[in-house]
């Protein structure tokens, strides 16, 4: 088992590293840049070229069934599930086979609305509660997967 972090805008990198260290799970941070490499031998930092979905594609190519990917990116989560991986949002909610179809549909509807009204979507702020929920969810998921 390995944990991959879609790291460019991930607010729970430190928390993920802390949980992974406790369980002895290697972590790979994947980013388009701006990430400082870790001195921890269990942490790999991968910087990919700029461009849409370059980091996402790298993660999908590298991951294996049973790996965990931390991301808010719905298409990436869908690809992770297609490879029998687990996708966890930074707020602790897990993408599942049952929820991914609706998530993709809502993403498409939201994109259509933004384009047709020329408006921006506002995301709710990331809270301490979200961080706590993520820590608990990651811990439970690792235990559930038998680590």
- Provide the CB-side half-sphere exposure for 124 (13 A, CA): 6
Give the strand pairing for 68-70 and 3-6. Answer: parallel
Question: Any idea what the CATH number is for the domain that residue 39 is in?
Answer: 3.40.50
Model pTM?
A: 0.87
Q: Which regions of the chain does DSSP assign to beta strands (E)? A: 3-6, 27-31, 43-47, 68-70, 86-88, 94-95
Q: How many domains does one find in the chain?
A: 1
Tens-place pLDDT, residues 3-36: 999 998 899 999 999 999 999 999 999 999 878 8
Q: What is the mean pLDDT of each run of 10 residues along the chain (147 residues)?
A: 94 96 97 88 95 94 98 93 96 87 67 69 85 97 90
Name the 3-class secondary structure at 142.
helix
Query: What residues make up the domain containing 48?
Result: 3-144
pLDDT at 104: 62
Joined tokens for residue 49: 């070229």
């Amino acid at each position: 088992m390995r944990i991959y972090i879609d790291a460019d805008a991930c607010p729970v990198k430190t928390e993920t590293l802390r949980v992974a260290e406790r369980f002895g799970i290697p972590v790979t941070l994947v980013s388009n840049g701006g990430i400082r490499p870790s001195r921890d031998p269990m942490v790999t930092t991968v910087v990919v070229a700029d461009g849409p979905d370059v980091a996402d594609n790298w993660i999908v190519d590298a991951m294996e069934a049973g790996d965990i990917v931390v991301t808010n990116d719905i298409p990436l989560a869908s690809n992770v599930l297609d490879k029998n991986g687990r996708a966890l949002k930074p707020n602790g909610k897990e993408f599942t086979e049952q929820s991914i179809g609706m998530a993709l549909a809502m993403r498409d509807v939201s994109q259509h609305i933004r384009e047709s009204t020329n408006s921006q979507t506002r995301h709710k702020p990331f809270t301490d509660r979200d961080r706590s929920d993520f820590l608990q969810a990651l811990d439970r998921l690792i235990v559930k997967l038998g680590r």
